[in-house]
Amino acid sequence: MEYPNWFAGAQHNFETHLTQFKGKPDLKFIQVGVFTGDATVWLLDNILTNKSSVLIDVDTWQGSDEEEHKKMDFEGVFSYYETRTQGYPNLVVFRCKSEDYLPTVKENTVDFIYIDGNHTEEAVRLDIVNSWTLLKSGAILAFDDYLWRGGPDSPKPAIDWFLEEYKDAVNVLEHGYQVWVQKK
């Protein structure tokens, strides 16, 4: 089956804001929401090239109530993801909800977190709260689908809350369809 490559529209931001990390040792990146692994493969091939760096992918691979997801077989999506990502020794996969995984991560140990999982305001706010203390000073936190209108709920109110609540603790790097910030 052919799957959409939603990463294609975001790749420019990844290149712009993550190139500074290319090849560095001992990095820890977390992605919340992975889909078919387009961003995963790109990150592992282009940024996390030092084998002591790790990418942690967190996704349920169950889809959501979004219309586009209702048409997909998410076991097939997961199988496609596994096929594409096998052979990367520095990839760790957690097939669970982000709210179950993120609280298990040690504080102040993560260099980059990409939030693109459950798009409801409540879930995005929880991902923000659970992610913030994990980030090192200078780390990057990025949100996809800030302007998305694919359902009755959206990430925008939660991201707006974050930008106001943490305005003195971040430098905004990007504010468009995606929002990227760097922790001070």
d(CA 155, CA 76): 26
Q: Among candidates 126, 143, 151, 154, which has minimal Cα distance to 69?
A: 151
Q: How many residues does the chain have?
A: 184
Under CATH, domain 6-183 is a member of which superfamily? Vaccinia Virus protein VP39 (3.40.50.150)
d(CA 109, CA 19): 19
Q: Select the more confidently predicted residue: 179 or 70.
A: 179
Task: Kindly state the DSSP code that residue 176 receives in the 8-state scheme.
Answer: S
Indicate whether 138 pLDDT > 90: yes
Mean pLDDT score, 153-159: 94
Indicate whether 143 pLDDT > 90: yes
Sequence letter at residue 30? I
Q: Is residue 30 within 8 Å of 105, Cβ to Cβ?
A: yes
Indicate whether 68 pLDDT > 80: no
Residue 73 confidence class, pLDDT cut points 50, 70, 90? confident
pLDDT tens digits for 25-45?
999 999 999 999 999 999 999
Q: Among candidates 83, 139, 131, 126, which has minimal Cα distance to 105?
A: 131
Give 129's strand partners: none
Residue-level pLDDT at 2 = 86
Query: Is the alpha carbon torsion for 144, 177, 179, 6 positive or negative?
Result: positive
Residue-level pLDDT at 121 = 94
In Å, how far from its chain's centre is CA 68?
19
Considering the chain, what percentage of its residues have pLDDT values greater than 70?
A: 96
Residue-level pLDDT at 149 = 80
